């Protein structure tokens, strides 16, 4: 039985005061969520603030990206070792905003996933098709390509330590959500791809859904057999919404 995982991706939002307020409201209810895993991924600069606020709870800390290199002359970048030192257990890799706005390719996403695993961080690797790709009937081939390039880089045996987030690009921040049927179909496809290469990994690997998940639609999505949690953007900035999703899980 895979434990559900709810991840809050704050993106480039927040200040210290907001982080304090949001975390303290969430922490009030954390003891009710013993049967699920909860992780918060604030911007780098708020990691320490959130670490302090969540220190006495089961809530885990994650970052939104890392650099694929070890420490060195990479101005402005943050390394896996630094994230580990800052108390992170998780890191989001290859979010569609990184791919489209910052030119990340399947190859760099694979290298970042490897870098995370090499430093004991658990990668949450994002995959998903654009609206145009879905309209052209290419959604499975796109997702398969994104997934396979990560598997090629880290090796199928390491995939048990990775979490996958299926985030259809057309559903991110748009208010449009994949229907539970659409999401379940893609999640089952992803699991089948893993199963073709290693059945134990396919059973163990958690596959999250992301894209306008809210407390209203969380129950029906999280009720699908292959949906093991959510990667929550906008709704993770609202304590009531985020807690509502955690309760649904
Ligand atoms: P959203 O973002 O929940 O605001 O759609 C999800 C994500 O980008 O991870």
The tens digit of pLDDT for each residue in 70-129 reads 999 999 999 999 999 999 999 999 999 999 999 999 999 999 999 999 999 999 999 999
**Which ligand 1 atom is nearest residue 235's CA?**
3
Q: Does the pLDDT at position 55 exceed 90? A: yes
Rounded to the nearest integer, the mean pLDDT of the chain is: 97
pLDDT (0 to 100) of residue 175: 86
Distance CA 183, CA 197 (A): 22
Q: Which listed residue (97, 139, 153, 167) is catalytic?
A: 167
Q: Which listed residue (95, 119, 187, 241) is catalytic?
A: 95
- Mark residue 101 as left, alpha or beta (left: phi above 0; alpha: psi -120 to 50; beta: remaining): alpha
pLDDT (0 to 100) of residue 1: 80
pTM of the shown model: 0.97
Q: Does the pLDDT at position 186 exceed 90? A: yes
Q: Whose CA is nearest to atom 2 of ligand 1?
A: 233
| Residue 69 is a catalytic residue | no
CA 19 to each of CA 52, 116, 215, 228: distance values in angstroms, whole numbers, following the listed order: 11, 25, 20, 26
């Amino acid at each position: 039985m895979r434990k559900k995982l709810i991840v809050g991706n704050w993106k480039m939002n927040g200040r210290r005061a907001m982080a304090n307020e949001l975390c303290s409201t969430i922490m009030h209810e954390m003891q009710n969520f013993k049967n699920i895993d909860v992780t918060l991924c604030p911007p780098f600069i708020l990691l320490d603030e959130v670490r302090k606020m969540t220190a006495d709870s089961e809530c885990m800390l994650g970052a939104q990206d890392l650099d694929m290199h070890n420490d060195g002359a990479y101005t402005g970048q943050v390394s896996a070792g630094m994230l580990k030192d800052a108390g992170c257990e998780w890191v989001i890799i290859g979010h569609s905003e990184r791919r489209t706005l910052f030119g990340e390719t399947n190859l760099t996403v694979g290298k970042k996933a490897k870098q995370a695993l090499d430093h004991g961080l658990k990668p949450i690797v994002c995959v998903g098709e654009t609206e145009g790709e879905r309209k052209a009937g290419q959604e499975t081939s796109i997702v398969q390509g994104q997934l396979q390039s990560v598997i090629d880089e880290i090796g199928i045996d390491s995939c048990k330590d990775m979490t996958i987030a299926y985030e259809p690009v057309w559903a991110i921040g748009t208010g449009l959500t994949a229907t539970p049927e659409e999401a379940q179909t893609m999640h089952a496809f992803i699991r089948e791809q893993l199963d073709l290469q290693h059945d134990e990994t396919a059973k163990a690997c958690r596959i999250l859904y992301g894209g306008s998940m809210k407390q209203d639609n969380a129950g029906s999505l999280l009720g699908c057999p292959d949906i093991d949690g959510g990667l929550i953007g906008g709704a993770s900035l609202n304590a009531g919404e985020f807690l509502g999703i955690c309760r649904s899980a």
